[in-house]
Structure 1
């Protein structure tokens, strides 16, 4: 409701947000709700003012946490995890002692620290979900600030068995390459 009130003008062309269900959902109903939530997200993600807002991010982080806990109630979630993040050259970085509920910003900064990336280059990079199959990396989608990387990664593995996290450049402008090629950490 807070997101709707704060950004009513920004949501004019978006899908309606699926109403909350008060009773335990069947697997079919969970899948239907997930599809409706995906459609809603796809309609609002292009709006940067909305997706960068605190309300929006907190709402979807809480929703993702709630969904994850409900779906995996029998499975205990570890308190700490180690994440493997790849670069496009297939070099792997092991990031240790993360919580499954650490946000994208924390994982992103761990990656930038691991490769010793200067602050001025942060905006050129991002984290993505990829599928690694037949010795080839295929883009699935970027990770967003309103999701928990570990939970999204675990959910993605249900559909794409060989998925992985990849830290890479996040722009499509070749002019930026000239600037990045001058720095040994950004090549």
Structure 2
């Protein structure tokens, strides 16, 4: 049954479209949270001197945006690689590596943003918290989608690499 799921083109395209839709949602919600968040300057007083420190948008928010943009490129790569170079072994291994990087990126991205939701950066009085929570939830769903597609890609690539290849030339000895 798992082999049939891995070879099902309709399921593959449906999962990729869902990944693309969720990436667009994460881009929109995270981008809005970044836009609404206003960096602020804090006057720091120390025994050795005083200075103004600027607190900008947290890096985790930008990393989640990177994960969403990276997903768009991954979906395009998988659609092109699945159509044009489906029988190449090296492209199959590259597809597995890209899936693994995407899984780890989304895991790190949504967890790092989720950790910051409960801190001072996103307190109840700030308007960037709602969209940030939505971006975190959709980031978690994106990670789950990539877990599914990574498993299907691994099954497809490593199962197809064990099959003997047949020649497509007419008259070739089999």
User: Shared fold by TM > 0.5?
Assistant: no
Higher helix fraction (1 or 2): 2
TM-score (norm 2): 0.28
TM-score (norm 1): 0.27
Higher strand fraction (1 or 2): 1
